[in-house]
């Protein structure tokens, strides 16, 4: 296998989904969680929101094939369901730029190698508008430098040190890294009174 | 320097600092359920990995199970398939499943504390955001996604960053008819649904100190709705008394040693916090949400706020909420008609919740046209409630008495809203589509307020019924 896990830079067309507090129930309604695999989850991303609003960006032909999602504040709040980032990833999303993120959603995205970058409200509003006017221009996300490039403009977009290091180094799929601790895992457990017995 | 519970528990569970700078954190208790785990077990099989510490994982069935007839095979083939996978995975990996046959099944966040699996000083993870509930006993407990469930199974560890800590001080005597649910809804209303992002919450103050363990469980349960991935209450005499005699708690002299250690993990006097927030409990009235996130709430005597009175970047969300709910700005929340009443969930599905709802149910009958469900949080809650005759009080008043499960909190079984039905719900989320209908509407409130709304057929002030 020569899979490249490093997530230094990503580029693709953008898709703006404005609005604050878009929760994971909205991204993927609970009825689609009745499945033992994540396959086919991409078809149901924002399903109810798309049905209720024909103008939803995920319905728009202009944004088909987009891979950089630009959102508002507190995106992905609510349920821990990994089905939400799985649905977005399987729809084609590779990076998300927003004002803030639900923490469990953010962590789930890291586990899937999807960087979530935090930008200012003013920059987000500008970027969403710029993408809607020119959806064919690619958005370039530089995780390492913590920048987003669109046309000739560069905006600051941060990722906290820990997840950024994981994404840049390609160690976001953490099982192997955690297993490297070896016997230190059992040694830590053995010191806990509730494990060794009171 | 005085240390917090977060400092002590985090340090005791730190295996090492990872190259990324994050902590490799040992997870002392792993709870699992049927919905967020099948893909994790599949990944484990593909990686040819075993469960690292099988004795530290416990599973149950709660999300997809029916609350009417729970004999298998379930009528819903997809639910049956998920249950079958759960049984097979638990057997293949030699894990303990607390299913209906054990008499200990229930919502994962109800049974953990109830069985004494949840203990102070632990780190607890579960593929469910309401894992924050377990913080009530003084544990660091948080929700994770399915790939992280795989990591806990395979390594008993997670890669985590230690959050900042905000102490939320609640002080004053709660007025009659105002409960822990109202306290947490008021906290979320005050600090906002993203106010807790990056923080853990330590709930403190004399109001919290006086709360029973079941009230503290309600309080910590909705930490996540305030944006905080976890919240906790320091272990005290209430904690120790609650845990004594529970099945997974040590007995005899070992219990006393355990209690000493539990008390020792509490935050020390003089410890510093990154932030402190305060709430005056005595000034509270019953709280009702009117919108599409749990921060959009008012006191039952208040009016729905106007979007124009909000900060500019919040106005569009407020307008969307009013449109979805069919409300006008300035309208009183009292008197809003309901179609469905739901008492249950990991927030408010415990015995004390059912007792309060039953007290209100004695005052009248469910209004014509209202569908009212009482769903106990666990088999043990159901059994205890039936021993007290609560089910008969509910049934006599026209409420349906169901079997334990998550039910209409998230509508993954047959318990769903239909169309634009309006629900008075003791659960935790009023998100669009949350209760199973894409156009359904949810008003969050305490179990007492739900029971009162069921009888009145509309949002009403339970304090007037309790006079």
Contact status of B331 with chain A (Cβ, < 8 Å): no
Backbone φ and ψ of B221, nearest 5°: -50, -45
Give yes or no for residue A1 having a pLDDT over 70.
no
Contacts of B431 in chain A (CB under 8 A): 23, 25-26, 78
The third-level CATH classification (topology) of the domain covering B164-283 is Aconitase; Domain 2 (3.40.1060)
What is the spatial distance between Cα B13 and Cα B403, in angstroms, rounded to a whole number?
A: 37
pLDDT of residue A74: 97
| Residue A31: closest C-alpha in chain B | B412
Q: Which candidate, B351, B370, B354, places its Cα nearest to that of B362?
A: B354
Contacts of B22 in chain A (CB under 8 A): 162-163, 166
Question: Predicted ipTM?
Answer: 0.97
Shortest Cα distance, chain B CAs vs residue A136, angstroms: 27
Q: Do A80 and B145 touch (CB under 8 A)?
A: yes
Give yes or no for residue A3 having a pLDDT over 80.
no
Joined together, the tokens standing for residue B375 give 């769903």
Contact status of B18 with chain A (Cβ, < 8 Å): yes
Contacts of B436 in chain A (CB under 8 A): 30-31
Q: What are the structural domains of chain A?
A: 9-170 (3.20.19.10)
- Domain parsing of chain B, residue ranges: 5-160, 164-283, 287-465
Shortest Cα distance, chain B CAs vs residue A183, angstroms: 10
> 3.40.50.10070, 3.30.499.10, 3.30.2230.10, 3.30.465.10: which CATH number matches B287-465?
3.30.499.10
The SS3 of residue A155 is strand
Contacts of A87 in chain B (CB under 8 A): none
Joined together, the tokens standing for residue B464 give 């007037």
pLDDT of residue A4: 82
Contact status of B250 with chain A (Cβ, < 8 Å): yes
Q: Which of A51, A80, A198 sits opposite B36 (nearest CB)?
A: A80
Q: Do B439 and A174 touch (CB under 8 A)?
A: no
pLDDT of residue A197: 95
Residues B408, B344 contacting (CB under 8 angstroms): yes
Contacts of B434 in chain A (CB under 8 A): 25, 30
Contact status of B224 with chain A (Cβ, < 8 Å): yes
Interface test with B, best of A39, A46, A78 (most B CBs within 10 A): A78
Joined together, the tokens standing for residue B229 give 């991935």
pLDDT (tens place) for every residue of chain B, 467 residues total: 999 999 999 999 999 999 999 999 999 999 999 999 999 999 999 999 999 999 999 999 999 999 999 999 999 999 999 999 999 999 999 999 999 999 999 999 999 999 999 999 999 999 999 999 999 999 999 999 999 999 999 999 999 999 999 999 999 999 999 999 999 999 999 999 999 999 999 999 999 999 999 999 999 999 999 999 999 999 999 999 999 999 999 999 999 999 999 999 999 999 999 999 999 999 999 999 999 999 999 999 999 999 999 998 899 999 999 999 999 999 999 999 999 999 999 999 999 999 999 999 999 999 999 999 999 999 999 999 999 999 999 999 999 999 999 999 999 999 999 999 999 999 999 999 999 999 999 999 999 999 999 999 999 999 999 98
pLDDT of residue B61: 98
Q: Do B78 and A121 touch (CB under 8 A)?
A: no
Shortest Cα distance, chain B CAs vs residue A31, angstroms: 6
Q: Which candidate, B461, B430, B464, B466, places its Cα nearest to that of B297?
A: B430
Contact status of B82 with chain A (Cβ, < 8 Å): yes
Q: Do A198 and B161 touch (CB under 8 A)?
A: no
Q: Do A160 and B161 touch (CB under 8 A)?
A: yes
pLDDT of residue B214: 98
| Residue A173: closest C-alpha in chain B | B147
Q: Do A37 and B436 touch (CB under 8 A)?
A: no
What is the spatial distance between Cα B151 and Cα A120, in angstroms, rounded to a whole number?
A: 33
What is the spatial distance between Cα B449 and Cα B460, in angstroms, rounded to a whole number?
A: 7
Identical fold at B5-160 and B164-283?
Answer: no
Beta carbons within 8 Å of B43's beta carbon, 6+ residues apart: B147, B150
Shortest Cα distance, chain A CAs vs residue B182, angstroms: 19
Provide the 10 A C-beta neighbour count for residue B329.
15
Helix (H) or strand (E) holding B138, with range, is none
What is the spatial distance between Cα B360 and Cα B397, in angstroms, rounded to a whole number?
A: 10
Q: What is the CATH number of domain B5-160?
A: 3.30.499.10
Q: Do A80 and B293 touch (CB under 8 A)?
A: no
């Amino acid at each position: 296998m020569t899979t490249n896990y490093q997530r230094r830079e990503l580029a693709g067309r953008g898709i703006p989904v404005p609005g604050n507090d878009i929760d994971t129930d909205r991204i993927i309604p609970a009825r689609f969680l009745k499945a033992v695999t994540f396959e086919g989850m991409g078809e149901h991303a924002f399903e109810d929101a798309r049905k209720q609003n024909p103008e939803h960006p995920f319905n728009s032909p202009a944004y088909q094939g987009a891979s950089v999602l630009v959102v508002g504040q507190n995106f992905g709040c609510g349920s821990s369901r990994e089905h939400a980032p799985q649905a977005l990833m399987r729809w084609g999303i590779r990076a998300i730029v927003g004002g803030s993120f639900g923490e469990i959603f953010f962590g789930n995205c890291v586990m899937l190698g999807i960087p979530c970058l935090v930008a200012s409200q003013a920059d987000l509003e500008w970027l969403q508008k710029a993408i809607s006017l020119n959806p064919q221009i690619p958005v370039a996300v530089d995780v390492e430098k913590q920048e987003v490039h669109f046309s000739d403009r560069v905006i600051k977009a941060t990722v906290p040190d820990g997840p950024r290091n994981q994404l840049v180094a390609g160690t976001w799929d953490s099982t192997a890294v955690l297993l490297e601790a070896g016997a230190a895992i059992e040694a830590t457990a053995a010191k806990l009174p509730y494990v060794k017995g009171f | 320097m005085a240390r917090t519970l977060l400092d002590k528990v985090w340090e005791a569970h730190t295996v090492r600092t990872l190259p990324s700078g994050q902590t490799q954190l040992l997870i002392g208790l792993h709870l699992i359920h049927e919905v967020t785990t099948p893909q994790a077990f599949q990944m484990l099989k593909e990686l040819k990995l075993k469960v690292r510490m099988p004795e530290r994982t416990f599973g149950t069935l709660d999300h997809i199970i029916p609350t009417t007839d729970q004999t298998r095979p379930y009528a819903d083939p997809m639910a049956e398939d998920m249950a079958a996978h759960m049984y097979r995975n638990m057997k293949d990996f030699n894990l303990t499943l607390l299913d209906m046959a054990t008499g200990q099944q229930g919502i994962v966040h109800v049974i953990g504390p109830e069985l004494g699996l949840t203990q102070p000083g632990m780190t607890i993870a579960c593929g469910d955001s309401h894992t924050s509930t377990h913080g009530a006993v003084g544990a660091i407990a948080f929700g994770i996604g399915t790939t992280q469930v795989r990591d806990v199974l395979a390594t008993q560890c997670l890669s985590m960053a230690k959050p900042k800590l905000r102490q939320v001080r609640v002080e004053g005597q709660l007025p009659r008819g105002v409960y822990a649910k109202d306290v947490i809804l008021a906290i979320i209303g005050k600090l906002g649904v993203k106010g807790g992002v990056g923080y853990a919450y330590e709930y403190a103050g004399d109001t919290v100190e006086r709360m029973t363990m079941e009230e503290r469980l309600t309080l910590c349960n909705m930490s996540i709705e305030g944006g905080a991935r976890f919240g906790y209450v320091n272990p005290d005499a209430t904690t120790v008394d609650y845990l004594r005699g529970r099945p997974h708690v040590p007995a005899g002299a070992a219990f006393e040693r355990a209690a000493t250690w539990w008390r020792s993990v509490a935050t020390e006097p003089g410890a510093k916090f990154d932030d402190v927030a305060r709430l005056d409990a005595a000034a509270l009235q019953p709280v009702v949400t009117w919108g599409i996130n749990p921060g959009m709430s008012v006191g039952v005597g208040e009016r729905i706020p106007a979007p124009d009175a909000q900060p500019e970047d919040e106005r569009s969300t407020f307008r969307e909420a009013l449109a979805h709910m069919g409300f006008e700005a300035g309208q009183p929340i009292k008197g809003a008609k309901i179609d469905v009443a739901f008492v249950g969930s990991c927030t408010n599905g415990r015995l004390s919740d059912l007792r309060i709802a039953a007290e209100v149910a004695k005052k009248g009958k469910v209004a014509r046209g209202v569908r009212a469900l009482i769903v106990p949080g666990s088999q043990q809650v159901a059994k205890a409630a039936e021993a007290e005759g609560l089910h008969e009080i509910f049934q006599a008043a026209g409420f349906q008495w169901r079997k334990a499960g998550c039910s209409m909190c998230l509508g993954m079984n047959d318990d769903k809203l239909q169309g634009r039905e309006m629900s008075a719900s003791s659960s935790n989320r009023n998100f669009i589509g949350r209760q199973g209908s894409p156009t359904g509407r949810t008003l969050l409130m305490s179990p007492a307020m739900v029971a009162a709304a069921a009888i009145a057929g509309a949002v009403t002030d339970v304090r007037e019924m309790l006079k």
